[in-house]
Amino acid sequence: MAKSKKNKIEEPAPTQTVETQNAETPAVRVVLSPTQFTQVCKIGFISTQEKSGKTDLNFTSIDIIALCKGEMVEKDGYDMKYEFKLANMDQYEKREIVKRSPFFGSLHEQV
């Protein structure tokens, strides 16, 4: 995966467009690999390229805890809706990634 000088993820995660109830805003499912999850925990966001331009999708502490519990986290971009989920990782690996995070390190006991 290529990274820019600012540690932003340039290549998107594997995605799958799915139909939602609202036909105007398609949803994109993104499965975060351990490397991508580490990057999200390091910088707190993912940058995406949409029709209307670049969008930064910010992740909160609540989002990180939800991802670690196996839940899907929804984020709205300008043109699209994103659904994030973690790839199969054991609980120890998730806890260690969060523990090393400068933003979310204090959450490792809740994971």
Q: Count Cβ neighbours within 10 Å for each residue of 22-46 and write b for 16 or more, e otherwise.
A: eeeeebbbbebeeebbbbbbebbbb
Q: What is the pTM of this model?
A: 0.75
- What is the DSSP secondary-structure string of 73-108? EEEE-SS-EEEEEE-S--HHHHHHHHHT-TTTGGGT
pLDDT at residue 13 is higher than 80: no
Between CA 53 and CA 7 the distance in angstroms is 19
pLDDT at residue 91 is higher than 90: yes
Q: Are strands 45-50 and 15-18 parallel, antiparallel or unpaired?
A: unpaired
Residues 39-63 have pLDDT tens digits of 999 999 999 988 888 989 999 999 9
Three-class SS state of 25: coil
pLDDT of amino acid 24: 63
Contact 90, 35 (CB under 8 A): no
Residue spans per domain, the chain: 15-107
pLDDT at residue 28 is higher than 60: yes
pLDDT at residue 18 is higher than 70: no
- Mean pLDDT is lowest, of 20-24, 29-33, 90-94, for 20-24
